[in-house]
Amino acid sequence: MAEKLLLIDTDCGVDDAQAIMMALAQPTVQVLGITCCHGNTTVDNVSRNVLRVLKICNESKIPVYRGATSSLLAENVGFSDFHGPDGLGGVPDPEAPGLDLIQKEHAVTAIIQIASQHAGKISLVATGPLTNLALAVKMDPAFPQRLKDLYIMGGNTETRGNSSVCGEFNFSVDPEAAYIVLNEYSCPTYIATWEYTCEHKLSWEFYEDWVTQDTAKAKFMKKIFAHSVKFAQRKVENEELVCENGFVSCDSFAMAAAVDNSIVKEYIECGVSVELSGKLCRGMMIMDYLDLLQKKHKAFVMKTCDIEKFKALLRAALK
* CATH code of the domain containing 193: 3.90.245.10
How confident is the model at residue 238, as a pLDDT?
37
**Mean pLDDT within 235-247:** 52
Which residues participate in catalysis according to the annotation? Answer: 11
The whole-number pLDDT of residue 234 equals: 65
Burial class (CB in 10 A: 0-12, 13-18, 19+), 63: middle
What mean pLDDT value characterizes the chain? 93
Nearest 5°: CA angle at 60, between 55 and 63?
Answer: 135
For the chain, where are the E strands, in sequence order?
A: 4-10, 29-36, 64-66, 122-126, 149-153, 189-192, 235-236, 239-240, 264-274, 285-288, 299-305
The pLDDT value given to residue 242: 45
pLDDT number for residue 244: 52
Q: Given this model, what pLDDT does residue 236 score?
A: 39
pLDDT, tens digit, for every residue of 84-131?
889 999 998 999 999 999 999 999 999 999 999 999 999 999 999 999
Reference 64, options 87, 42, 85, 46; nearest CA is 46
Q: For 250-272, what is each residue's pLDDT tens digit?
A: 999 999 999 999 999 999 999 99
Phi, psi of 150 (to 5 degrees): -130, 130
Domain count, the chain: 1
51: containing domain:
4-317
CB hemisphere CA count around 186 (13 angstroms): 10
pLDDT band, residue 2 (cuts 50/70/90): low
Q: What is the mean pLDDT of residues 123-143?
A: 98
